[in-house]
Amino acid sequence: MEHHANIVPWQMLCRARGAVLRVAPVDDRGVLDRDAFADLVGPRTRIVALAHVSNALGTLNPVAELAALAHAHGAVVLVDGAQAVAHVPVDVAALGCDFYACSGHKLYGPTGIGVLYGRAALLDAMPPWQGGGEMVRSVTWDEVTYEAAPQRFEAGTPPIAAAVGLGAAIAYLEDHDPAARMGHEADLLAYAAEALARVPGLRMIGTAPAKIGGHSFILAGVHAHDVATVLDGEGIAVRAGHHCAQPILRRFGVAATVRASFGLYNTRDDVDRLIAGLGAVRALFAP
């Protein structure tokens, strides 16, 4: 159920290093098959990479449980938290992951910046991936001494303005009580699920019991991009397309879905508007 960002880099690594990429399947609800996952992880598993929350399905993965299983086989666990950080409080120690990545633009912050958490012992053991200023202690024509982690991974002048913006976005999120945020979004998600289920011809893609962030769906006889264009005209912003998650959409037999995502600023009125907008879509494209 991964985003291309958590697929393509591993494919590149596999090609460069001769590693093998193995994929854990999901069931028809979009829930990870834990037995299959357990069978796939073994002594030769080096890295387990998984989404905290699926951007295409909304599935919330049981990261702590899966990380413990991976660690039992000596694997390093990397979590793609891009879709999670704006919606759930993240405690990397409680999750038990070794790396946790997230993007600024998914938590109401700027594009082009993000956060990569890494366990100190692993970071200390890793060589720099890029050379330049800021990441060195001293340089001669013959020698270079690197800074300690994490500075040694941040060559060159950083995107300072984006970092300030990201800090402001995180402060904004932290100004809101996490339990209240989660409660508000859970209410919206449940309210929307009920309302969407009543829309004729609508099929929800991703029906995991534990969902976060939004709903992905298709409307019978109407292409996702046509749905999105009409909704856009009604002042409703949804995402249409493959969500950079083509393999999981293929798993569900669709090329594109419409995704309505909810943030802490959304209300039940917004959901009502979405449902009314879908009525307009159906009216316009009725055969």
- 154 touching other proteins, by CB under 8 A: no
By beta-carbon proximity to other proteins, the closer residue of 196 and 218 is 218
Q: How far is the CB of 255 from other proteins (least distance, A)?
A: 2
164 CB-near residues (< 8 Å, 6+ apart): none
Complex with other proteins: residue 136 or 280, whichever CB lies closer:
280
How big is the site for other proteins, counted in residues (CB under 8 A)?
Answer: 21
One-character DSSP codes across 83-147: TTTTTS---HHHHT-SEEEEEGGGGTS-SS-EEEEE-HHHHHHSPPSS-SSSSEEEE-SS-EEEP
Q: Which of 14, 97, 102, 244 is catalytic?
A: 244
Measured distance CA(71)–CA(263) in Å, rounded: 33
Q: Shortest distance, CB of residue 14 to other proteins, whole angstroms?
A: 22
Residue 97 catalytic?
no
Q: How far is the CB of 283 from other proteins (least distance, A)?
A: 9
Spell out, one character per residue from 209 to 238, where the chain touches other proteins: x when CB under 8 A holds, - when not: -------------xxxxx--xx-xxx----
CA atoms within 13 A of residue 104's CA, in its CB half-sphere: 17
Q: How far is the CB of 251 from other proteins (least distance, A)?
A: 14
**24: closest CA among 56, 48, 54, 53?**
48
Residue 144 or 255 with smaller CB distance to other proteins: 255
Q: Tell me the three state secondary structure of residue 220.
A: coil
Q: How large is the angle between the packed helices 178-197 and 268-285, nearest 10 degrees?
A: 30
Interaction mask 236-265, other proteins, x per CB under 8 A: ----xxx------x----xxx---------
Which amino acids are annotated catalytic? 244
Residues that bind other proteins (CB under 8 A): 222-226, 229-230, 232-234, 240-242, 249, 254-256, 280, 284-285, 287
